[in-house]
A and B are shown apart, each in its own frame.
Chain A
Amino acid sequence: MTTFARFWYRYASPASFYPLAGRLTPLFAVIAVLLAAAGLYVAFFVAPTDWQQGEAYRIIYIHVPAAWMAMFIYLVIAFWSAISLAFNTRLSAMMAQALAPTGAMWAFVALWTGAFWGRPTWGAYWVWDARLTSTLILLFLYLGYIALRASIDDPRRADRAAALLALVGAINVPIIYFSVRWWNTLHQGATISMTAAPKMAQTMLTGMLLLTFAAWAYTIAVALYRVRSIIVEREAASGWMSRLAADSRGQSDDASASGAMAR
């Protein structure tokens, strides 16, 4: 077996992934903070003012990364869902479960920032722009996924049902986006578009990329932390967890973990 496969199989067990996630969380948290600081600095102090939209355009530095994250996380959830169905693994399903709330959060932020960008730029808080409307539907897909999980009591059944839902949703997302774009262009023409200005200064692009990677690092840190909670919730009665608790009796697990997440 190759080293990669051995690594993969070893960490497919919640028991061995748990400590790994605990070590990775602070690492990604630090990366997120550094990238965010750099990105915000570039966004506010290095990038020039947009001559068309004025200072209001600075919202895109968080709107675009949020929209990308919402999209991307859904695909990652679909990926882990496929793995969990194909290989009948618990941890992949737990990872999907851990990512969903963060994905929903990014979708909401994308909608909110989109609305507050749209108001000064195009006069209305909500224009039925294709991308924003697709993001709204994506938010509903996230909420449906979370709701379905919450409404099935047996965790393994919830895993599998939610995984199938995620896959059905993932197949539909491009269809939804395509149909909404069709609908939008038919009714409004291509005049209103939330995509960033066609020509972006290099510094603007840098700022957006930095903040996108910051959002990625944040999401990974948060998802790893959440999956640890999920592992505790679901594996509480297992032997390894009891041994872990017995080993660390006296030390609060919370103190070290929440210290790492402090902002």
Chain B
Amino acid sequence: MLDWLRMGGYGFYVWSSYGMLALAIVVELFALRQRRRTAQRRADELRAEQPLRPAHFRGNSE
């Protein structure tokens, strides 16, 4: 098992690579959740301040 981890002497390089990928994914997923939480919170605050407005007053085009 230890032999497999050592990857024929290249363990440092192989696991640094796979490790960075894993780290990047974890960071991205975490940031994703943070963004969602912040968006929900801000949306709730906005709705608390301003009651339901008719959709057709919004100026955005579809």
Q: Do any CB atoms of chain A lie under 8 A from CB atoms of chain B in the complex?
A: yes
Interface residues of A (CB under 8 A from B): 12-13, 49, 54-56, 58-59, 62-63, 66, 88-90, 101-102, 105, 108-109, 112-113, 116-117, 119-120, 156, 218, 222, 225-226, 228-230, 232-233, 236-243, 245, 253-254, 257-258, 261, 263
**Interface residues, chain B, CB within 8 Å of chain A?**
7-11, 13-14, 16-18, 20-21, 24-26, 28-29, 31-33, 35-37, 39-40, 42-44, 46-47, 50, 52-55, 58, 60-62
The answer to whether A66 touches B21, judged by C-beta atoms less than 8 angstroms apart, is: yes
Say yes or no: A236-B47 contact (C-beta < 8 A), given A56-B14, A109-B24.
yes
Q: B58 near A263 (CB under 8 angstroms)?
A: no
Contacts of A261 in B (CB 8 A): 29, 32-33
Q: B62 to A13, Cβ gap below 8 A? A: yes
Whether the pair A232, B28 counts as a contact (CB closer than 8 A) is: no
Contact assessment for B42 and A236 in the assembled complex, using a CB-CB cutoff below 8 Å: yes
Q: Chain A's nearest CB lies how many Å from the CB of B32?
A: 6
Q: How distant is A155 from chain B, measured CB to nearest CB, in Å?
A: 9
Beyond the given A116-B16, A242-B47, please list 5 additional residue pairs across the A-B interface where CB-CB is below 8 A: A90-B60, A90-B62, A113-B17, A232-B43, A240-B55
A sample of 12 inter-chain contacts (CB < 8 A) reads: A55-B9, A55-B14, A105-B28, A112-B20, A120-B10, A230-B39, A232-B43, A236-B39, A237-B50, A239-B54, A242-B47, A253-B36
Q: Which of B29, B35, B62 contacts A229 (CB 8 A)?
A: B35
Given contacts A59-B14, A109-B21, contact A102 B28 (CB under 8 A): yes
Residues of A within 8 A of B20 (CB): 109, 112-113, 116
B37 engages A59 (CB within 8 Å): no
In the docked arrangement, what's the CA distance between A225 and B61, Å? 23
Selected contact of A228 from candidates B21, B31, B36, B46, CB within 8 Å: B36
With a 10 A CB-CB cut-off, give which of B17, B20, B61 has the most chain A CB atoms.
B17
Of the candidates A117, A218, A225, A245, the one whose C-beta lies within 8 Å of that of B36 is: A225
